[in-house]
Amino acid sequence: MIACQECGHNNPESAQRCESCGAPLGPALYRECPACGALNAAERSTCSRCLAPLTAPPSGADASESASDSSFTQDEPTAGAPQEDDPLADLEGLLPPAAVPDPVSQPSRFASHESSEAERDDAALLHRIATEPAPLGQVRREDAPTGRERMPDGIRWLLYLLVLLAALAPLITGNRGQQWESPRPQTLLLAEAVADIAPGERVLVAFDYAPGYGGELDPLAERVLTDLARRGAVLVAISTRPEGVGLARQVLGRVATFAPDYRYGANYVILGYLPGAERGLRLATQDLAAILPHDDVLQMPWEQLPAMQGIGTLNDFEATLLLTDDGNSARRWIEQVGTQVDTPTYALATARIEPLLIPYQQSGQLAALVGGVYGALEYPLEDAPERHDLHSTDGYLALLGVFFLAAVLANVVPWRMHQN
Amino acid sequence: MPLANIGNLIGIWIAGLLTLAVLSYILGDNPVYRLAQHLFVGIAAGYAAALAWNHVLAPRLTRLVQAPAEAWPVALFALLGLLLLARGWRPLAALSGIPLGLLMGTGAALALGGILTGTLVPQLAASFVPLAPAAYGGGVMGWALALDAAFLLLCTLAVLAAFQYHRAARGSLRLWYRGVQAMGRLGRLVMMVAFGAILAGAALSFFTILQSRLAFLVYEWLGSLAELGL
């Protein structure tokens, strides 16, 4: 028999829901201590209150029987002992450990408190949030769309297939849509700013994006950095994320192959990982060597590298190029560095966070903002390195068609289903 | 085949198989996807730990050992770092509050200062825009830019009104609050459009990444089969 956790009704083992109240009958959440009667989480092997071993397997029927035999009842609450229907009884393992008061010598000051219905509801909600497992990939039965609200599996699979085909469209069509693209003013502004950088001037490049977004940001970074490298600018890479250092090595390594005689130490340097988020950035604006004493590749004090001569703080760079996929990271750079240095900051961002950064571009805090793979497509660069993942224009057009179709399906098909 | 090419080929195959493993989630949760997920999480954590040791901790501790007189502040910071570990040992757990307080205090102070000087004040200043076409040079373009500025001002005020909460008003204030409510409705519409733009940007980002992975699978992974003569 399985006891319902809501109303206590005993149900057969095969029941999925309570025969009395209809509540779902999941696996038992409680295990009652045979020594003190406290209710513990089912997975505990010892009592969270008295540390006695919990040998009996969790069973709804046993739990309800032994609970009725226990020494305390709701009419005669024992100080310090949890009530049998106390929804917070098995949260002790999740909450910070606290000494349990002796129930005899130190009666609880809450003993006489009678909880209101609202308090009990809140406690039951907290219990549910804290104890129920959240399995990956499984939607709770009661939360899943039911009946006609749920999109039929066939249509869902059709949409998956169409998105896949849209992504493959450039491979099929040869990306003919690219001829219709023209650079936007922001992209041209960035290209002009890059053209104004004189040979030997230092540009700080912040690789603040995750490798997962490399497919979107690598092509854009590669084009802009190649342009800078060919113009003789010195690139100094830094990252406030550990994985950004690996990306800097990868991207700058490729850039060095597209620009003649572009060598590590003389023309570009990877300073490495800048820890400490806001604190690290603010300190770097005052004393860069204090926080990054060595470069990442040669592990040398970077004052010995020709590219770093005369650099002391972030203010000594002619410009900052921020490569980012994270709005918070971009904001940190703007707030902690942008307010402390006088040089312009240019942002290359993913399409996901581009709308979040537009206000900073319009207020002049970002000198230019270019986003996504389309930014890479628009960026004017002669003899640009060829990349297959740049051939994406036809894919975007096809995706637009899929979105339109999905909107029609989402609105018309359910309507027809309701009519039927 | 040269050794470097073999290494590259192995890398392409591992990347290709892991890409397929992640994409297999479209069929639902499965062991192959889980394996890829655990690998990514484990490698990312291991990489971050190794980087933190090699580039943050080791150089500073080496400097402390080599020149303790010069690098003595590092010892103080190391001690504060060690105190963080005391949280797991009850007799000393209270001491972990010292570095935690320092971290929270400096972090909060810098974040608050940054938000004020780097976001709030500049964004407020940017919303003070001239509305006269003459300020934009006059003509059709001047009028267009002035209208754009007026639209910006209207949307800003509407969004601010959307967060204006009040009790039911009586008397002379009633009309004012009704106006604020109407502006608030417009503000919610503006926010919905903004959230829609962010969602569209996210969809575009994820689609671009999908395209990039498919291009990798087609050109590099399948291309490596041709390189092997298959």
**Does residue B212 contact residue B22 with C-beta atoms inside 8 Å?**
no
Q: Are residues A119 and A259 in the same domain?
A: no
In tens, the pLDDT along A289-323 reads: 888 888 889 888 887 899 998 888 898 999 999 99
Establish if A339 belongs to a structural domain.
yes
Establish if A239 belongs to a structural domain.
yes
Is pLDDT of A67 > 50? no
Question: pTM for the whole thing?
Answer: 0.72
Q: What is the C-alpha separation between A333 and B110, in angstroms, rounded?
A: 12
Residue to mutate among A159, A332, A350, with most B CBs inside 10 A, is A350
Is pLDDT of A384 > 60? yes
Establish if A48 belongs to a structural domain.
yes
Q: Are residues A232 and A365 in the same domain?
A: yes
pLDDT (average), residues A3-8: 70
- Read off φ and ψ for residue A108, nearest 5 degrees: -65, 145
Residue A30 pLDDT: 65
Q: Are residues A237 and A325 in the same domain?
A: yes
A319-324 and A345-349 beta bridge pairing: parallel
Residue A323 pLDDT: 96
Q: Are residues A185 and A314 in the same domain?
A: yes
Q: Are residues A319 and A202 in the same domain?
A: yes
User: Of A121-135, A362-376, B139-153, which gets the smallest average pLDDT?
Assistant: A121-135
Residue B129 pLDDT: 87
Confidence bin at A94 (pLDDT 50/70/90): low
Please name the residues between 120 and 159 in chain B that touch chain A, using a CB distance below 8 Å.
122-123, 125-126
Touching check for A287 and chain B: CB below 8 Å? no
Q: Are residues A166 and A199 in the same domain?
A: no
Q: Are residues A16 and A77 in the same domain?
A: yes
Q: What is the C-alpha separation between A126 and A88, in angstroms, rounded?
A: 8
Contacts of A35 (CB under 8 A, 6+ apart): A47, A50, A52
Coil, strand or helix: which one is B106?
helix
Q: Are residues A235 and A293 in the same domain?
A: yes
Q: Are residues A217 and A345 in the same domain?
A: yes
Angle at which helices B97-114 and B72-85 cross, to 10°: 110
Q: Which residue has the higher pLDDT, A133 or B61?
A: B61
In chain B (230 residues long), the average pLDDT of successive 10-residue segments reads 77 93 89 94 92 87 90 90 87 88 92 93 90 88 92 92 78 82 93 93 91 89 81
Residue A81 pLDDT: 47
> What's the structural domain count of chain A?
3
Touching check for A350 and chain B: CB below 8 Å? yes
Establish if A148 belongs to a structural domain.
no
Distances (CA, A) of A371 to A181, A208, B67: 15, 14, 47
Q: Tokens standing for A105?
A: 């010598």
Residue A304 pLDDT: 87
Q: Which residue has the tokens 């690996």?
A: A246
Q: Please indicate whether, in this complex, the C-beta atoms of A215 and B107 are within 8 angstroms of each other.
A: no
Q: Are residues A356 and A220 in the same domain?
A: yes
Residue B7 pLDDT: 84
Q: Which residue has the tokens 């003389």?
A: A266
ipTM above 0.90, yes or no: no
Q: Which of A28, A150, A30 is nearest to A89 (CA)?
A: A30
Range of the domain at A54: 1-135
Distances (CA, A) of A29 to A8, A55, A124, A126: 13, 15, 13, 14
Q: Find chain B residues with C-beta within 8 A of A153's C-beta.
A: none
Q: Tokens standing for B51?
A: 């980087």
Phi/psi-derived region of residue B204, left when phi > 0, alpha when psi is between -120 and 50, beta in every other case = alpha
CATH of the domain at A231: 3.40.50.10160
Q: Which residue has the higher pLDDT, A264 or A44?
A: A264
**Does residue A372 contact residue A350 with C-beta atoms inside 8 Å?**
yes
Residue A74 pLDDT: 40
Residue A90 pLDDT: 61
Q: Please indicate whether, in this complex, the C-beta atoms of A362 and B219 are within 8 angstroms of each other.
A: no
Distances (CA, A) of A230 to A30, A198, A199, A235, A252: 68, 11, 9, 11, 13
Average pLDDT, whole number, for chain A? 78
* Percent of chain A whose predicted confidence (pLDDT) is above 70: 75
Q: Are residues A106 and A171 in the same domain?
A: no
**Does residue A347 contact residue A361 with C-beta atoms inside 8 Å?**
yes
Establish if A277 belongs to a structural domain.
yes
User: Of A94-103, A152-161, B193-202, which gets the smallest average pLDDT?
Assistant: A94-103
Q: What is the C-alpha separation between B214 and A398, in angstroms, rounded?
A: 15
Is pLDDT of A242 > 60? yes
Q: Are residues A271 and A295 in the same domain?
A: yes
Q: Which residue has the higher pLDDT, A32 or A365?
A: A365
Touching check for A279 and chain B: CB below 8 Å? yes
